Structure 1
Amino acid sequence: MQSETREITRTYNGQDQIDLMEMLEDYLRCLKKYWLQLLLVLITVAAATVTYMNYTYSPVYSAKITYAVKKTGDTSVDSSLTRRLSSSVGTITDAPEFRDELSANMADSVPEKSFWFSSQYTDGANLYTISVNSGKYKYVDELLDAFQKIYPSWVDKSNGSVALEIVDITNASATPVNEYSLIDYLVKGILAGLVIVVCLATLYVQTLHTVRKEKDMRKVTSRSCVAVIPDVKIKKRSKSTKSQLLISNKRIDWGYKQSLLSVQSRLDMQMEKNGQKVLLVSSTLPQEGKSHISVNLALAALQNDKKTVIIDGDMRNPSVGRMFGFEGQSLGLSDYFDGKADVEEIMIKSGNLSVISAGTRNGGISGIISDSKMQDLMEYLRRNFDFIVIDTPPAGLFSDADILAKYADTVLYVVRYDHASVKEIQEGMSSFIQNNKLSGYVINQSHGSLSSYGKYGKYGYSKYGHYGHYGKYKRYIKTAEKEMNTEDSL
């Protein structure tokens, strides 16, 4: 246990190398999952940007005058003086005295804040250009005329006698220099929207703490991944009803069957080596596929000629019986604990496979279980069966799995791809690790290289509607669908 904790700490504190392909997959998953929300954000930001730019748009008209500086005849000296004169334009034109003199040389009165001056200088040259700018076209040329009359004398006051030669004068055009363009605003709005969308997607990627690969589980446990089970769909007939994902179903994909057989084979080798018979299967949250894994492991054991029994320990929302097609069985585990039936009466047999359903009384296992009766039951099953599977409620929600783990030899933990967070998995798995019961885990419904198999959710994963009132986990619970029967029932 201590060595595993040290291993987890090293992995958790270590800095993983950035996987660009993985990041790209995360961005694509975000786009696929939230494309409508991101599209709405893009449209909203683009519309807000265009609206703001339209509201704040003000046309600017400009006239220009270019001066050549001739004082010493030395190019480098005159160039330095030109640079100084260009940088001083703002100081001169902002002076109240300059503005008063400028107004005195104009026929019309111009509002004080309706115009401004700017200057542009080319490094190494003795030329600089002064622009007169205003939001009113009618003022610009008159302002330029008044400016060129008084400006040279203001230059002489601050720099001594300077010979300024007018090289070029460009009067204002009726077209503003910042011409209005709705297309330009739309492009800018879309770019702004894309920036926000990328930022939101990046935030999603950076805060994504679910499990998608084996390396994500290194933060939880150093135990090995038994298998990565692909996301699949059934080869349905045109008029067939929905079916369960059982390996006994002939329409189930071959790759999916092989992955389950591989899980059973690896567990079988490990359990036989350790003299173990009882496997408990659990998960962190609902809808991770643990019940399907439990049932399929039982079916896989039959192919190895093992006399097998599966126990539905999920008395809150039993599903094993439903998968085999006998939902509503009158007697089961709860009836055994209540003394209403003995072991033989609660077992439904079909060849080498036996099923013990949850029974007629629902509730938490702690309020139903009888320790002595459970010990007797497990002793009977160990004597008469080669492989015993116990399906449980989610360990991240209830203590039922911890209670039942007392009677199991080892635990297989089911982790659904991109479902529960690493922290939630760590909390759900912790007791199995502490008690040294965890044999390993499977990553279920993987969207990796086997993603072409499709989607699990459409084909038989039971919905934990009864768990919907459990606080922060409510987001994992979906409304129950009509249950699906299998052609391969007992």
Structure 2
Amino acid sequence: MDSNAQTTERSWIAQRLESDGPDLLQMWQTIWRRKWSILSLMLVVMMVAALAAFSLTPIYRAGATLLIEQKKANVVSIEQVYGLEGTGNEYLQTQFELLKSRALAERVVRQLNLTTHPEFDPRQQPEPLIDIGGLLASFNITKAIPAILPDDLEEDVDPTEAKIFDEVTKAFMERVSIAPLGKSQLVKVQVDMADPRMATKAANAMANGFIEAQLEATMEMSMTATNWMNSRLGELRTKLKDAEDRLQAFREKENLVDVDGVATISAAELSLTGDRMIDARRQRAEAQSQYQQVQSMRGGGWEKLATIPAVLGHPLIQQFKADEAKARAKVDELSKRYGARHPAMEAARSDLSAASGSLRGQVEQIVAGIERNYQLAVANENSLQASFNANKSQIQDISRKEFKLRELQREVDGNRALYDTFMTRLKETAATSDLESANARVVDQAVLPTAPIKPKKSLIIALAGILALMAGVGITLLLEMLNNTFKGTEEIENKLNLPVLGILPLIKNKQREQVAHLFTSNEDRSFSESIRTIRTGVVLSGMDDPHKILVVTSSIPGEGKSTVAANLACALGQMEKVLLIDADMRRPTMAKNFGFAVGTPGLANLIAGTAKLEECVKHIEGIDMLSAGAVPPNPLELLSSARFEKVVEFLRSKYDRIVIDSPPTQAVSDALVLGTLANALIYVVKSEATPIPLVQKGIGQLLQNNAPVTGIVLNQVDIKKAQKQGYSYGGYYDYYGYSSDAQKA
């Protein structure tokens, strides 16, 4: 194989290795190969699950249906005291939590006496498989390690009735479930127990106990409200009496009989006085006006005073003026006829003087009357003003008393109304205290369950099967991932990009010496046919350039390379003149396998020149064999020497084919040296044993040193196991030969 081809091949292998990733098809093939193991695991787990499910105690579920009304039917109007009004989800959730309460559970435990029921009573529980308490007692742990034991150990050994009741209550609460039915006000009270009859009784007891607890709570709240109202009523009665006493004391202190009547009279008098004061003020103003006119005319004589409108308009003044005018007219008339001393004139003047005097006297009298009227008007106005002010003060005083009186009256009325209200509520509560009314009622009583709800045997078995299937698949994939070895020919060709020359079946119950002669003895036809297949591959791969020097190697010791080399050499010896050389001078096997005498010279002696070729080569089973000889201290130096090359060249001219058993590649570097001298190299891989990276590393080293790696031999394949796991080897295996051997077996 030339250098360019080897470089291209190494590059292609590297690309394949880098591109390897999760292959779903490969995963499926792995699972399919292990299908019977996975199915067997699933079947076993399902059988165990079935046994476990049928051994479990069946649990029955009984349920009673309750209708919880959001608002209680109000018998009395005192729901504010009871606090029973509620709407919405919060109210229903509160009722659900009350159904789950410990108080209700304790009520049912007492009612049904569950502390003595075998399902709950810890004293009647079956004995455990391992009595830890007994073991501790036998070892006297309390004395050995007192610090780590609880103080109440004796109580744990002999539990009290209270502790038993507490444990039974907790256990019963775990068996109770509350399930609302959709968005309705119906709720299902369910109890799970192994005893279906007791479960039915417990469910009905839960429902009825909830209703009874509600009624008892209502009664208790009613009694509490009654007691509170009685005490409150006494306080209100005292307050009402104090208010009435203060009102009566105020009436007596102020000498009040009828404030409303007194206020009405005072208001009427004040109104009348006001009207009279207005008239008096008007009269005083008129009198003042006349008085001021009189005062302004006082210095001009009575004639001026007579011109005042108030005087002039007086009827008497007008009459006296008329009399004076007549007397003056008479004087004027007589003066034309008589002289001044005429008696008629004197009589006329005397009449005129008398008329003027009368007019004057009347004017003065009227003026005096105007002055008196003014004084009387002022006095009258002042008197009415004083009376008005007195009435006003009296009304204000009455108003103040009225306000105080009304304040006291309102206090009395408020206390009386509150007292009457509490009295009415108290009578209503007392009258309806024995009326039972709850906010819940039983719609459906619990009936005796006929079928258990658990264990769901079919579901348990199905789940166990599914889990087992998943576990089997997971374990298979995990083992496949951890088992990083070659298990089939396709895997070798895909990962190494090298042909598989053949596979060799696993030979059981045979010693290494026997396996080395297996082809010649033909004891195992399948093995012999496999060797022939490898021989055919080697021969056909060298049709153009026969592989005269054939090196057989492996990654690590124990993979069967020496067996392959010996049997392949025997197979080739049936057609050609073949020499088998044991070049593994560190761990030689040929001399032992073929019964060479101790001290028989071999390859090491030939290279060192201490023995001749005729002394070293032995003819056995149709071929010539050259054993390793005396184990030298420096095998690699011998194989790397020019003398070894000359030996190989000489032997090449004498034999048609030379098969060299080489040391493993990962143990020493001898195979790399031998590979440079070979025309073909067969790499032996032990099935399901050699790690893939190790093989890749070994082949990579050989290719880097231009070794002519021809193909792979998959050795020690467990055919039966492989066929059970679904591996197929196709044309690499003689099925008929194997089947006949199997029939013989």
| Superposed pair shares fold, TM > 0.5 | yes
Aligned partner of 1:120: which letter?
Answer: A
Q: C-alpha separation between the residues in 2 aligned to 1:355 and 1:105? A: 97
Aligned partner of 2:12: which letter?
Answer: E
Question: 1:66 — aligned with what?
Answer: 65
Aligned partner of 1:146: which letter?
Answer: G
SS at match of 1:406: helix
SS at match of 1:420: coil
- 1:252 maps to 2:529: no
Question: 1:204 — aligned with what?
Answer: 479
Could you say if the C-alpha distance between residues 88 and 361 of structure 1 is closer, same or farther in structure 2, counting changes exceeding 3 Å? farther
- 1:431 maps to 2:683: no
Q: C-alpha separation between the residues in 2 aligned to 1:252 and 1:358? A: 28
Question: 1:120 — aligned with what?
Answer: 179
1:210-249 maps to which residues of 2 (within 5 A)?
210-218=485-493, 220-225=495-500, 227-231=501-505, 244-249=516-521
Deviation of 1:386 (Å): 1.7
1:11 to 10, 16, 21: 16
Aligned partner of 1:119: which letter?
Answer: I
Could you say if the C-alpha distance between residues 243 and 388 of structure 1 is closer, same or farther in structure 2, counting changes exceeding 3 Å? closer
Question: Contact 1:313/1:393 (CA < 8 Å) preserved in 2?
Answer: yes
Residue deviations 1:366-405 (CA, integer Å, cap 9, x gap): 2654612212211211221221111022223332222322
1:261 to 532, 540, 544: 532
SS at match of 1:248: helix
Question: 1:145 — aligned with what?
Answer: 208
1:334 to 588, 604, 625: 604
Question: 2:592 — aligned with what?
Answer: 322
Deviation of 1:141 (Å): 5.4
Aligned partner of 1:328: which letter?
Answer: V
Structure with a larger share of its residues in strand: 1
Q: C-alpha separation between the residues in 2 aligned to 1:189 and 1:333? A: 64
1:94 to 81, 97, 110: 97
Aligned partner of 1:214: which letter?
Answer: T
Percent identity, aligned pairs only? Answer: 22
Structure with a larger share of its residues in helix: 2
SS at match of 1:378: helix
Q: C-alpha separation between the residues in 1 aligned to 2:16 and 2:554? A: 22
Question: 1:467 — aligned with what?
Answer: none
SS at match of 2:700: helix
Q: C-alpha separation between the residues in 1 aligned to 2:100 and 2:178? A: 20
- 1:286 maps to 2:557: yes
Work out the number of aligned pairs and report it. 417
Q: C-alpha separation between the residues in 2 aligned to 1:250 and 1:279? A: 23
Question: 2:30 — aligned with what?
Answer: 23
- 1:168 maps to 2:444: yes
Residue deviations 1:342-381 (CA, integer Å, cap 9, x gap): 3332111359732110112266722654612212211211
Question: 2:663 — aligned with what?
Answer: 393
TM-score, normalization by structure 1:
0.66
SS at match of 1:148: helix
Question: 2:628 — aligned with what?
Answer: 358
Could you say if the C-alpha distance between residues 451 and 153 of structure 1 is closer, same or farther in structure 2, counting changes exceeding 3 Å? farther
* Bigger mean CA offset, 6-15 vs 133-142: 133-142
Residue deviations 1:144-180 (CA, integer Å, cap 9, x gap): 43123356999xxxxxx99865331127889997689
Deviation of 1:426 (Å): 0.7
What's the Cα RMSD here?
5.1
Aligned partner of 2:524: which letter?
Answer: I
Question: Contact 2:30/2:476 (CA < 8 Å) preserved in 1?
Answer: no
2:544 to 273, 295, 299: 273
- 1:300 maps to 2:307: no
Could you say if the C-alpha distance between residues 308 and 133 of structure 1 is closer, same or farther in structure 2, counting changes exceeding 3 Å? closer
Residue deviations 1:48-93 (CA, integer Å, cap 9, x gap): x97xxx9xx999786521135899xxxxxxxxxxxx97x9866544
SS at match of 1:397: coil
Question: 2:304 — aligned with what?
Answer: none
TM-score, normalization by structure 2:
0.46
Q: C-alpha separation between the residues in 1 aligned to 2:214 and 2:8? A: 83
Question: Contact 2:570/2:621 (CA < 8 Å) preserved in 1?
Answer: no
- 1:130 maps to 2:189: yes
* Bigger mean CA offset, 261-270 vs 116-125: 116-125
Q: C-alpha separation between the residues in 2 aligned to 1:320 and 1:29? A: 42
Question: 2:683 — aligned with what?
Answer: 413
Question: 1:488 — aligned with what?
Answer: none
Residue deviations 1:167-204 (CA, integer Å, cap 9, x gap): 311278899976899x9999998987776555433311
Residue deviations 1:114-167 (CA, integer Å, cap 9, x gap): 41542335659885422246899697654443123356999xxxxxx9986533
Gaps of 5+ in 2: 1-5, 71-87, 112-161, 218-436, 720-727, 740-745
SS at match of 2:579: strand
Aligned partner of 1:248: which letter?
Answer: T
SS at match of 2:652: helix
Question: Contact 2:484/2:691 (CA < 8 Å) preserved in 1?
Answer: yes
Deviation of 1:104 (Å): 7.9
Question: Contact 2:10/2:700 (CA < 8 Å) preserved in 1?
Answer: no
Aligned partner of 1:292: which letter?
Answer: T
Deviation of 1:431 (Å): 1.5
Question: Contact 2:504/2:531 (CA < 8 Å) preserved in 1?
Answer: no
* Bigger mean CA offset, 446-455 vs 268-277: 446-455
Q: C-alpha separation between the residues in 2 aligned to 1:174 and 1:29? A: 40
Gaps of 5+ in 1: 72-83, 155-160, 456-490
Aligned partner of 1:94: which letter?
Answer: E
